[in-house]
């Protein structure tokens, strides 16, 4: 299998077959919390994509050039948390200065991202799957596209649910959980993709 084919496989796998929200059940709090409004879902998706790709590359470098040479692989979780938190702060400071319009668009989501478990999961999965830097970047891009798809599907459905007649028993979170379960079942059908 050529290199390019392998990258494509990783991308497809991470978007659909290993979708972080629907198959691995990560990042559920932002999935439920930020999908009430379509625009905020899109904003969050942009911010997460941006941060995940950059932060997973940085934590990849931290792991391979700092932890491995000293034999400290067991410190990966705590050092990744540190790296991601610092990195989100850096990006926020930089965006505020350099691109204020982008900062206004995703600024409110950046503090949320610092504690988003999806980004830590992507950084850790990059290590356990033993990807190289290019593969890790492609994987994190695919994972965040998968997250964006999940958020956008859910936000689209929830905007329509506002106008639907729902029994009182089901209003709010119960219906959201049932809806996301149905979407997750649909994503199960994509398991074979990228094999």
Binders of other proteins in range 126-165 (CB under 8 A)? 162-165
Instruction: Give the Cα separation of 49 and 160 in Å (integer).
Output: 26
Is residue 65 near other proteins by the rule CB under 8 A? no
Please say which residue, 4 or 164, places its beta carbon nearer to other proteins. Answer: 164
Binders of other proteins in range 2-41 (CB under 8 A)? none
Contacts of 193 (CB under 8 A, 6+ apart): 12, 13, 16, 17
Q: Which of 72, 134, 181, 186 binds other proteins (CB under 8 A)?
A: 72
Q: Which of 97, 130, 168, 189 binds other proteins (CB under 8 A)?
A: 97
* Tokens standing for residue 126: 């990059």
Instruction: Give the Cα separation of 77 and 123 in Å (integer).
Output: 9
Residue 186: C-alpha distances to residues 31, 63, 141, 189, 191 (Å): 17, 36, 22, 5, 10
* Site of interaction with other proteins (CB under 8 A): 62, 66-67, 70, 72, 74-75, 78-79, 82-83, 86, 89-90, 93-94, 96-98, 100, 104, 162-165
């Amino acid at each position: 299998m050529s290199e390019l084919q392998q990258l494509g496989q990783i991308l497809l796998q991470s978007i659909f077959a290993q979708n972080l929200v629907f198959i691995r059940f990560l990042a559920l709090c932002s999935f439920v919390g930020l999908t009430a409004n379509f625009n905020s879902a899109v904003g969050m998706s942009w911010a997460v994509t941006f941060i995940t790709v950059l932060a997973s590359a940085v934590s990849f470098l931290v792991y391979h050039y700092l932890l491995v040479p000293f034999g400290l692989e067991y410190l990966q979780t705590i050092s990744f948390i540190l790296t991601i938190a610092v990195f989100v702060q850096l990006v926020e400071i930089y965006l505020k200065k350099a691109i204020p319009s982008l900062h206004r668009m995703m600024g409110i989501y950046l503090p949320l991202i610092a504690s988003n478990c999806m980004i830590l999961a992507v950084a850790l999965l990059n290590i356990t799957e033993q990807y190289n830097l290019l593969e890790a970047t492609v994987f994190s891009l695919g994972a965040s596209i998968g997250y964006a798809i999940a958020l956008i599907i859910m936000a689209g459905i929830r905007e329509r649910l506002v106008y639907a007649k729902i029994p009182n028993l089901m209003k709010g979170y119960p219906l959201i959980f049932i809806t996301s379960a149905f979407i997750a079942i649909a994503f199960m059908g994509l398991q074979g993709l990228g094999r």
